[in-house]
Amino acid sequence: MFQTQSGSRRKVDIGGGARGRCAQQRIFSERRSASRPLFMEGWRKAVGQRFASVSQNSSLCSNSSVQIWIAETDGLLRAKSCMQLLTEKDWTSLNRIQNPPNRNSAITARVLLRLGLSKAVDRAVGPTDWDFSVTAQQRPIVAEGLPQVHFSVSHVDRLAVVAISPHLNVGIDVESVDQNVTENVMAAFCHHDERRSVRALSDLQRTREFIRLWTLKEAYTKMMGVGHSLDFQVIKFVLDPIDLASTGGGSTSVPTQFENFYVSLKHALFHASLAIEEPTGTTEVQLISLVDSMSEGAALVSPSCA
User: Does 145 have pLDDT greater than 90?
Assistant: yes
Cis peptide bond upstream of 100, omega within 30: no
Residue 53: the pLDDT is 42
pLDDT at 182: 84
First CA to last CA across the chain, in angstroms? 31
Question: What pLDDT, on the 0 to 100 scale, is given for residue 218?
Answer: 93
Q: Residue 54 has what DSSP assignment?
A: B
Condensed to tens digits (0 to 9), the pLDDT of residues 287-302 reads: 999 886 555 432 333 3
Distance (Å, whole) CA 253 – CA 30:
39
* pLDDT confidence bin for 126, thresholds 50/70/90: very high
131 vs 49 pLDDT, higher one: 131
- 18-31 pLDDT tens trace: 333 443 556 555 54
The residue among 266, 165, 269, 262 whose CA lies nearest residue 222 is 165
For the residues 117-121, what does the mean pLDDT come to? Answer: 96
Instruction: Tell me if the pTM is above 0.85.
Output: no
126-135, 210-219, 224-233, 246-255: least confident range: 246-255
pLDDT above 60: residue 185:
yes
Q: CA of 44: how far to CAs of 23, 48, 162, 286, in Å?
A: 12, 13, 16, 4
**Mean pLDDT along residues 179-191:** 86
Answer yes or no: is pLDDT of 138 > 60. yes
Choose among 154, 199, 156: nearest CA to 178: 156
pLDDT mean over 76-95: 93
Report the distance separating Cα 159 and Cα 29, nearest Å. Answer: 20
Mean pLDDT, the chain, integer: 80
Q: pLDDT per residue over 60-74, tens digit each?
A: 444 578 999 999 999
* CB within 8 Å of 26: residues ≥ 6 apart: 40, 41
- Indicate the SS3 state at residue 63: helix
Cα angle value 300/151/259 (rounded, 5°): 65
Pairing of strands 268-277, 256-265: antiparallel
Which superfamily, per CATH, for 4-291? 4'-phosphopantetheinyl transferase domain (3.90.470.20)
Task: Read off the DSSP letter of residue 60.
Answer: P
**Cα(29)–Cα(81) distance, rounded to whole angstroms?**
12
Domain ranges for the chain: 4-291
Whether residue 74 contacts residue 101, with contact meaning beta carbons closer than 8 Å, is answered with: no
Q: Mean pLDDT across the stretch 94-115?
A: 96
Measuring CA to CA, which residue among 2, 51, 45 is closest to residue 280? 51
The mean per-residue pLDDT over the stretch 134-138 comes to 87
More confident residue, 96 or 189: 96
Specify the pLDDT at position 68.
95
Task: Give dist(CA 134, CA 116) in Å, integer.
Answer: 19
- pLDDT of 231 higher than 90: no
DSSP state of 190: S
User: Is the pLDDT confidence value at 253 over 80?
Assistant: no
